[in-house]
Chains A and B, each alone.
Chain A
Amino acid sequence: MGRRIAATFKRTAIHAAPTVLGIIILDFLLLQLMPGDAADVIAAESGTATAETMAALRERFGLDKSVFTQLVNFLGHLATFDLGFSPRYNMPVLDMIMTRLPSTLLLMVTALSLALLLGIVLGSIMAAWAGRWPDRVLSVVVLLFYSMPGFWVGLMAVVLFSVKLGWLPSDSNMTIGANYTGWAMIADRAAHLVLPALALASFFVAVYARLTRASMLEVQRQDFMRTAEAKGLHPFFIQLRHALRNALIPVTTVAGMHLGNLLGGAVVIETLFGWPGMGRLALEAVLARDFSVLLGVLLLSSFLVILANMVIDLLHAWLDPRIGTT
C-alpha cells in the first residue's frame, strides 16, 4: 500500500515539472497578444501623460525590451523564486499572491469537498431509490443545479439569505473591524464562507450526483455484488463497502479534471461575494494590464491544479489497487 502510493507520487511529480514550464511560457506568450500594457493604463489614469513619461515608465518596468528578452528575464527571476514586481501596486508579486492564497484555498477546498460530499450522498440516494419518487425529485433538483450558472445561484442566494432573511453575510470573508478571536472568529469566517462555497459548488454537486448515481447503478449488475449478498452481509454494508468504493473511481477522475474549472469559477464567485482571493486579484490584474501579477496568479493556479491532481491520483491509487502497480 505505502509503496504503491509512493510510486504514484513519484510518477506524478516527474510529470509536473515540464507541465509547469510549458504553462508559464504559453501564458507569457498569450498575454503578449493582449492590447495595451501597464504603462497605457497608468498613463490613462493620470490623464496627463506624455510620450516621454510613457517611455520612461516602460523602461522602468522593462516593457521596452523584446518579448524574448522579457521572457528570459521572467524565467531567470523565477528560478530564484522571484515572481517580479507589480508596477501597478508597487509591491512584490509574491507578497500580493501570498496574502490572497489562503482565502482562495479555503474557498476551493470547501467548495470541492462540499460538492463531492453532497454529490456522492445525493447520487447514492438516487441510485438506491432508482425509478421511485426520491430519485425523481432529486433528479429534478440536480437538473436545476446543473443548468443554473453558479453566479446566478450565488446572486439568488444573496437575495434570499442575506437580503430577505438576513441569516448570512454576503460580502468579504470576515466581518471587517469586528476583531473576533477564538471560536467567535471561526464562526464568523464560516458564516462568510457558506454562500460563496455553495454557489461555487452547486454545479459540481449536480455533476457528481449524476455520475455517482450512474456508476452505482452500473456496479449493482456486477457479479461480485451477488457474491457479497451470498455472504449474508447487510445491504447497507454491501452498498457502502462493495458498491460505493467501485463507483467512486469515475467520480474522483472527473473531480480531478474539474479543479481547473473550479478555479475559473472562483474568479466570478470571488468577484460576486467580494472574496479577497486570487480570482479577484487576477481580474484586477487583467483590468490594470498588470501582467507580472497575472502571470504570478496563473503560475500559482497551475501549481494548485497540479497539486490537487496529485492528491486525486493518490486517492485513486488508494481506491483502486489496480492503479500504480506495474
Chain B
Amino acid sequence: MNPIPVPLLEVDRLTVAFPGHVAVREASFAIAPAETLALVGESGCGKSVTAFSVMRLLPPNARVASGRILFDGNDLMTASRPEMRRLRGRHISLIQQEPMTSLNPVLSIGVQIGEVLRRHERLSRRATRARVVELLDLVKIPDAHRRIDDYPHNLSGGMRQRVMIAMAVACHPKLLIADEPTTALDVTTQAQVLDLLGDLRRELAMAVLLITHDLGVVAQWADRIAVMYAGRIVERASIVPFFARPMHPYSHGLLGARVDVDAEEHYLTDRLTEIPGSVGSAAGETGCSFAPRCPMVQPSCRLAPPPLLELADGRAVACPITAAQTGAPHGAAVG
C-alpha cells in the first residue's frame, strides 16, 4: 500500500555519482500535489544534489548512476532536452540558496523575471511588463512600478530572494524546489521570506521540496520530512509523529541537539548537546554509515547498509534496531 495515492513527484532509488565519490545513494521519496516535503540533513549530505537531479541541472561532472524520477507521470531521466526545458520554469521551478549570486548582475530584475514568462507563455513585451509588476506586488516588493527597472545590486538580500521567488512562481509551477531559501538571509528577513513562501504555496497550491538544515523551519512549514545522512535517506515521516518521536538514532540526535528556548537552556549554563563524532567517519563504512557515531550500534549494523523499512502511517526508517523496538516492519523494505 502506498501512503500517497497519486504522487506529483516520485524519486525512486536515485543514485548520483561524482568522479571519486557517490553523493546520493538509493534515495526514494514522493511528494503529493500541494504538499511540502522537507529534505533535511547537514551540509554535504546530498540534499542539493538530489534537488538538482530532479531538474536535471547537475554539475557537468556529476551523473545519475541509477534510479528513476517520475514527475506528473513523465520519466524525467529519459525525457529529451527540449522536454526538460518545457518543464523547467513552467512546472518545476527553483529557488537557490544565495540570492547575492543567483541573479544576473547585468540584467534588470524586470528582464530576468519577464524572461520566464516570455519563454513559457509567449506574452508580448507589454503584457510581460504588466505581469512582472503584478508579480513584484505579489512578493510584496514596494513600488513595483519603479523597482522593475532596478538591477540586483540595487536590492538587499531579502529583496533579491523575493525577486527569485517572483521568478519561480511566475508560471504557477506545480512543484517548487527551494534549496535553503533563507540560509543566506539574516533572521528577521528569514521569517518574512518564509511567511511569503508559505502564503504563496497555499494560494497557488504548489508542492514544495524544501531543502534545509533548520529544524525550526521544518516544524513550522513542512507536511512531511525526509532525513538524509551521508547520501542516504535514513528516515521519512509526517511532521507531527517525527517531532513527537524521532526513530532513527541520527534524527534523535538532531532533535536532541536543538537549543530549546522554553527549557531555559543556554550555552552559558549548560553544555550544548551534540552528536558525537563527525560525518567524515562515514567514509569507507561498509555497513550503516551512521554506525561509527551511533549510541545503539550493534555488530550487525557494520555488515551491510540497512534498508529503508516501511512502517505504518507512511513512516520509514533505515534502522532495524529502532524499527524492531516499535514492532514488526509494516511493509516491505524499499531501499
Contacts and interface: CB of A to CB of B under 8 A. Distances in A.
In this complex, which of A223, A227, A249, A322 has the most chain B Cβ atoms within 10 angstroms of its Cβ?
Answer: A227
10 contacts: A226-B57, A227-B94, A227-B167, A231-B88, A231-B115, A232-B88, A245-B106, A245-B107, A321-B108, A321-B153
Contacts of B96: 223, 226-227
A230 B106 contact: no
Contact of B119 (A226, A233, A242, A320): A233
B87 A232 contact: yes
Contact of B106 (A223, A232, A233, A246): A246
Given A223-B102, A242-B104, A230 B55 contact: yes
B119 A232 contact: yes
B116 A231 contact: yes
Contact of B88 (A222, A229, A246, A321): A229
Interface in A270-325: 319-322
Interface of B: 52, 55, 57, 84-90, 93-94, 96, 98, 101-108, 112, 115-116, 119-120, 151, 153, 164, 167
B85 A232 contact: yes
A245 B106 CA distance: 7
Contact of B101 (A222, A228, A241, A242): A222
A224 interface: yes
Contact of A227 (B87, B104, B119, B153): B104
A221 to B, nearest CB: 9
State the 9 A-B residue pairs at the shortest beta-carbon distance, nearest first. A232-B88, A232-B89, A231-B89, A230-B94, A223-B101, A223-B102, A321-B151, A231-B116, A224-B104
Interface residues of A, number: 21
A245 to B, nearest CB: 5
A84 B242 CA distance: 91
Given A224-B103, A226-B96, A321-B108, A231 B57 contact: no
B105 A226 contact: no
B16 to A, nearest CB: 16
Contact of A322 (B90, B94, B105): B105
A234 interface: yes
Interface string A244-285: 011001000000000000000000000000000000000000
A242 B120 contact: no
B88 A230 contact: yes
A322 B152 CA distance: 9
A230 B86 CA distance: 10
Nearest to A249: B106
Contact of A246 (B52, B86, B104, B112): B104
A230 B107 contact: no
B269 to A, nearest CB: 41
Nearest to A245: B106
Contacts of B108: 321
A322 B167 CA distance: 22
Contacts of A222: 101
A226 B60 CA distance: 12
Given A245-B107, A320-B106, A232 B101 contact: no
B334 to A, nearest CB: 29
A3 to B, nearest CB: 12
B102 A224 contact: yes
A249 B104 CA distance: 13
Nearest to A220: B60
A192 B116 CA distance: 48
Contacts of A319: 106
Nearest to A222: B101
In this complex, which of A226, A241, A242, A322 has the most chain B Cβ atoms within 10 angstroms of its Cβ?
Answer: A226
A231 B85 CA distance: 8
A231 B86 CA distance: 9
Contacts of A227: 94, 96, 102-104, 112, 164, 167
A241 to B, nearest CB: 7
A233 B115 contact: yes
Contacts of A224: 101-105
A228 B104 contact: yes
Nearest to A226: B57
Given A223-B101, A224-B103, 12 more contacts: A223-B102, A224-B104, A227-B96, A227-B102, A230-B57, A231-B88, A232-B87, A232-B119, A233-B119, A320-B106, A321-B108, A321-B153
Nearest to B56: A229
A322 B119 contact: no
Interface string A206-238: 000000000000000011101111111110000
A216 B120 CA distance: 27
A242 B107 CA distance: 8
A223 B164 CA distance: 12
A235 B96 CA distance: 19
A321 B151 CA distance: 7
B105 to A, nearest CB: 6
B151 to A, nearest CB: 4
B164 to A, nearest CB: 7
Contact of A320 (B87, B93, B105): B105
Contacts of A246: 104-106
Nearest to A321: B151
Given A222-B101, A223-B101, A322-B151, A229 B107 contact: no
B151 A241 contact: no
Given A231-B115, A233-B115, A322-B153, A223 B98 contact: yes
Contacts of A226: 52, 57, 94, 96, 102
Contacts of B57: 226, 229-230
A321 B86 CA distance: 31
Contacts of A230: 55, 57, 88-89, 93-94
A245 B104 CA distance: 10
A53 B293 CA distance: 103
Given A231-B167, A233-B115, A321 B106 contact: yes
